[in-house]
Each structure stands twice: as C-alpha cells, then as structure tokens.
C-alpha cells in the first residue's frame, strides 16, 4: 500500500478505481473456484481489498471536505454583495405589495393607467 498522505485527488480516484476492479475480479474468481480453502483465501483477499478501498474513500471524502471548507469563505463576500444589490428591488416589491393589500382592504380600485396617443406626423 502507498503512503496515502502524499496522494493527490486524481491519484486517489485512480487507486479507488483499481481497487474496485480488483474486488470485481476477485469476486468472479471466487465464483469460479470450488473448495473451502479457495473460498476462504478469496474471501480474505476481498476483505483486504475492501478495507483498503474504504480507507481511500474516507481519505478522499476528507480531502473534498477540506477543499469545500477552504473555498466557502471566499464565496461568502460575493453573496453579501449580491444581497445588497437585490435589497432595493426587494423593498420596492414589498412596498407595492403593501399598497395592493391596502387597496383590497379599503375596496378602492387601482388608479387607471394613462394611455398615450401616438402623435401624427
């Protein structure tokens, strides 16, 4: 087994793919063999490969979580800026909704829209 602390994410992915293929091949071989000794040996090999696969998957998940945590603070200021830009639009929508609700409660009709005539040339 290699030193997992020096593996990069693509190397981890490659190693995980290799282990999955090994487990698949060992399972096929175990199905083809007959006899208690062969089955026991195959089960031990599959268990060892599965343990290594589980360890690499855990390491990969940890690496991805660290990357996500490191990237998260950088994205936060962008979100705040976007929220500040949207604030005036939200205020206008709230104000319009209050006006509309007030008109409904009082029974008043909304003011008529002005119609503009086209000028003849």
- Condensed to tens digits (0 to 9), the pLDDT of residues 16-69 reads 999 999 999 999 888 887 777 888 888 899 999 999 999 999 999 999 998 888
Give the number of other Cβ atoms within 10 Å of residue 12's Cβ.
17
DSSP, residue by residue, 60-81 = HHHHHHHHHHHHHHHHHHHHHH
- Quote the CA–CA distance of 84 and 95 in Å, as a whole number: 17
What pLDDT is stored for residue 2 in this prediction? 47
What pLDDT does residue 18 have? 95
Task: Give the global pTM.
Answer: 0.51
Hey, how many other C-beta atoms are within 10 angstroms of the C-beta on 19? 19
User: What's the gap between Cα 114 and its chain centre?
Assistant: 50
> Which two three-digit tokens encode residue 51?
């343990």
């Amino acid at each position: 087994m290699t030193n997992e602390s020096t593996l990069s994410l693509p190397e981890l992915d490659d190693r995980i793919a290799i282990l999955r293929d090994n487990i698949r091949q060992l399972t096929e071989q175990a199905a083809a063999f007959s006899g208690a000794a062969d089955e026991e040996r195959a089960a031990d090999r599959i268990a060892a490969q599965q343990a290594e696969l589980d360890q690499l998957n855990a390491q990969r998940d940890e690496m991805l979580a660290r990357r996500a945590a490191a990237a998260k603070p950088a994205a936060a200021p962008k979100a705040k800026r976007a929220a500040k830009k949207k604030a005036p639009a939200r205020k206008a929508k709230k104000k319009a909704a209050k006006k509309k609700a007030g008109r409904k409660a009082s029974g008043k009709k909304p003011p008529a829209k002005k119609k503009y005539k086209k000028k003849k040339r």
